[in-house]
Structure formats: structure tokens, C-alpha cells
Structure 1
Amino acid sequence: MSTSENKLVLEAHDVAIHYGGVKAVDGVSLSLQKGQIHGLIGPNGAGKSTVIDAITGRRRLTRGKVSLAGVDVTHLGPTERRQRGLSRSFQRTSIFEQMLVRQQVELASYKMGVADPGADADAILQELDLMNLSHAVAADLGYGEQRRLDLALALVGRPSVLLLDEPMAGLSVQESHDLAKHLQALTSRWDVSVLLVEHDMDVVFGISNVVTVFELGRVIASGEPAVVRADPRVRTAYLGSAA
């Protein structure tokens, strides 16, 4: 898998988040090229979600720098970063369960200041195969459909960078496969670059251009999926010695 253009859209440099003597993240550097899917893996508590929080502005850095399309956004809050094209979804869905599917995507588009919220909502729902559920109440959707709706809300306003925190959690194998295909399509058709935290190894190694492995708040390996999978440190620390 190749990127559409060799252009850096996101960079975190020497990011650290310390709580007293606890180093939740300690000197992490990673980057995202235009059109890439960059997978982040590691054991629970390795610091993956904390790095995502740091990049989106939800955690104050002890040190380090975050840049979006070459612009330093380290001191901007989550709302300002969202307006600059940095969007994210959380481990738990953030949908409005009692609202109609299209209604809430259109409302989110309106809140983002999109020129034509209705057209934006329709395009997103079409892309994620949710158009036939436009007039359904979100609470009536299956869990896999709710996760796609959550992704739809993250796509409002056509962000350039999408940070996803375990989007396949709780999905069936088929639902994970379908969502993975949607993510791949977004990088080509919507010009979105994706930073993906995920425990589903088949998904991560199947769709990522780059995989970065965390352990105890630090990066222990990063590179092309096949290279990372074969790295002895990764096999020992996370995939298992017989992986």
C-alpha cells in the first residue's frame, strides 16, 4: 500500500506526559503521511490512548510538540484542532441515541459551520453505507451500524486527519472487515489520513501502511507491517514469541 502523496499531515515529536513520577508517555515521536493508515498497537496501559489524547489536545504535554500540516498546534485546545482538520473518535460511541441518523449528522455539520450541512450529511452517509438508515432512530441500529454512525460524526467537515481509538471493539469479524474496507476507501476517496489504535491484529497489519508498537509509554518498534511483525522485540513483548 502506497501513500497518495509524500506529504506530512501530522507529527508528534518527543511527546511526554508525566504524572509526578509516573511516565504515562515518555518521549514518543510519530508521524502520519497524507493518505496513510498508521496503526498503533501495544498491551493495555502501554500509552496508546494517552498519545491520542495528547495529539488531540485533551492532555497537557510535559514536553514535546504536535504539528498539523506543518503548523505547531501544541498550545491549541481540542476544538481549535478539530476546526483545523484533526478529528477523533473514542472507544465508546458518542452518538445521540434518540435522534434520527441523518438528523444528527446534519446537526453536527451545521455546528461545524459547513456551508451545506444537508449535502455534507448525505455524502458521509452514502460513503459509509448508512443512507438506507437515514430516518432510523440511532438507538434502533445494530452495534456495528452505531460504530459507523460514530465514524460518520467524526467525518463531518471533511477532516484531513482522523484519529480512531479502537473502532473495531465489540464488532464481529465481518463488521470489523467491513469497517476496515471503509477506512481504506476514505484514505483514497476522501483524502483522509488515519491514525488507528486497535487490538485487532488482523485489521492493523492488513490495512496499515505503518505500524508503531508501544510498551510502557515508549515506542519499541515502528515501520512497515511485515518488518514490525518480524521484529524480535515486538514478538516477545506483544505478539508472543511464536507469532
Structure 2
Amino acid sequence: MAASAIFSCDQIGLDLGGRSILRGISLDVKPGEVLGIIGPNGAGKTSLFEVLSGRISPKSGTVAYGGREITGLPLHRRARLGIGRTYQTPIVPEDMTVAQVLKAARQAYRPYLTPDDAEWGAGLVGFRIPGAMMADRLDTLNRRKLLIACLLMRRPSVLLMDEPAAGLINSEIDELDDIMRVLAKELNIAIVLIEHRMELLDTLADRVLVMDAGETIAEGSLAEILLNPRVKAAYFETDAGGGLH
């Protein structure tokens, strides 16, 4: 782990259902840095997030936050440390208004937060939806904004974001790009980003890690990894490659 890194994992191994899912994955991310992760379906990207967020315990390896090993800590304790996570599908409560969702986030655990905290989080992401609206009526972008606002009001220092551009059109991706720049460069949040939209990674990611079949096959700038012979062989020179995802 780099001395300046706030969050890292080292040699993560994971078996599920008798299959080897992750093999020796290591990464680190500094405050204000965006680390992109790409790879085909089945590469193990989301499984890695399950380990990093604390939903699944690895077979081997360690996870560290702020220089402290947290491999054994469950998801809720990592959240309280300042590690937030978003999911590819932005699921919101069907029977709650926007105001009720924000209140539930404020009161999820002590210390309870104030409406001003919720307003601050919503303002950062440009979420300007009336509180009386039912959350399940929101479009995909505003669902993402609402869920990110709920995380931001707790002032996280690390965000694990699983394909936040999924389901968005180009103009919405541009808006998401602006939001994530604020999170990383103004709030100094370390972001680990699973994403297949190359245009988003090209503008945001400081480094990109490429996974294939549970292993890291390349790491560097997006331009560097696209020229990497192993990446080209895996994704561009075989019938089964199908491109980067």
C-alpha cells in the first residue's frame, strides 16, 4: 500500500460455490484520486466490491483503511468509518417520499444528522426534487443523485461506485462527470469506480485497473492500458473478447 493511500486491499482471494472468483487482487487509492476498474462480465469486479465493502469475507488477503486493517469488519461498521458504496441498479424505497428517504438516511445511526446536512448533500449533487415526490417516481439519474446525497451527508472519505453511468444518456453522463469531479477534487474523496463507459473513465480516472477472470492483468492510465499487449490480446484479438466493459 502506498504511504499516501487511504484505502487498499492486498492479495485478495475469494472462492464462491466451489469456484475461484478472485485471485491475488491488490489496489490502493489516495484521497481525491479516482481509480477506475474495468473488465468483462465475470471478471470479478462486483465480487471485489462485495469484499471491499464488507458484505463478503475474503478467503485470503487483507483490506485496510487509513492504515488500519479492517478485513474482519462488516459492512455497517465500514460505513460508519466513512466507506460508502453505490450499486449498479439505483434501488429506492417504493413507499417513501424523497423527504422520508433523506430523513431515514439522517437517522440511520447516531449521531443523528439535521435537515441542513441533508440539504447540503442534496445541493452537492444538484438534487432539486420536491420532498413530497414519491421516490419510486424518480428517473435513473435522480435516483442516483438521491442515493449519493444520502451517503454524502455522512461525509465519507471513500466511495465504491459500481457502474454509476448505467442507464444514463450522454447529457446525464456529463452531469454525473461534473458531480464526481466535485466529490474527488473538491471534497477530496477517494473513489473506486467500476465503469464500462470509456468516455467517463477518460475524463475522470487517474488510473485504471483491468481485471479478467478474477485477476489483475494491467494497471495504469487509460491510454496505457488500451495499448497494453495483454489487454489487447484479451479483448481485441479473440473472438470471445467482445470489447472492454
TM-score with structure 2 setting the length? 0.90
Indicate the residue corresponding to 2:122 in structure 1.
125
For residue 132 of structure 1, report the CA deviation from its aligned partner: 4.3
Out of 113, 117, 126, the residue aligned to residue 116 of structure 1 is 113
For 1:55, the equivalent position in structure 2 comes to 52
1:182 to 2:176 alignment? no
Deviation for aligned residue 1:20? 6.1
1:152 maps to what in 2? 149
Quote the offset at 1:78 in angstroms: 0.4
Matched residue, 1:169: 166
Distance, in Å, in 1 between the alignment partners of 2:193 and 2:171 is: 19
Q: For the residues of structure 2 that align with 1:31 and 1:57, how far apart are their CA atoms? A: 16
| Percent of residue pairs identical | 30
- Uncovered stretches (5+) of structure 2, i.e. residues with no partner: 238-242
Any unmatched runs of 5+ in structure 1? 1-5
Q: CA deviation at 1:21?
A: 4.8
**C-alpha distance in 2, partners of 1:112/1:171?**
31
Q: CA deviation at 1:156?
A: 3.3
Contact 1:17–1:63 (8 Å) recurs in 2: yes
- AA partner of residue 169 (structure 1): A
Matched residue type, 2:210: V
Instruction: Report the counterpart of residue 27 of structure 1 in structure 2.
Output: 24
Change (3 A) 1:193 1:214: same
User: CA–CA distance in 2 between the matches of 1:153 and 1:95?
Assistant: 11
Pairing 1:81–2:78 present = yes
**Aligned counterparts of 1:27 and 1:78: Cα–Cα separation in 2:** 22
Query: Which of structure 1's runs of 4+ aligned residues deviate more than 6 A?
Result: none
Q: How many residues align?
A: 237
Residue 42 of structure 1 is aligned with which of 39, 43, 50? 39
CA distance 1:114–1:175, shift in 2 (3 Å): farther
Counterparts in 2 of 1:42 and 1:130: CA distance versus 1, 3 Å: same
Aligned to 2:137: 140
CA deviation map 1:174-205 (0-9, x unaligned): 11221121011111222211100111111122
Tell me if structure 1 keeps the 8 A contact 2:91–2:143.
no
Contact between 1:40 and 1:213, CA under 8 Å: does it hold in 2?
yes
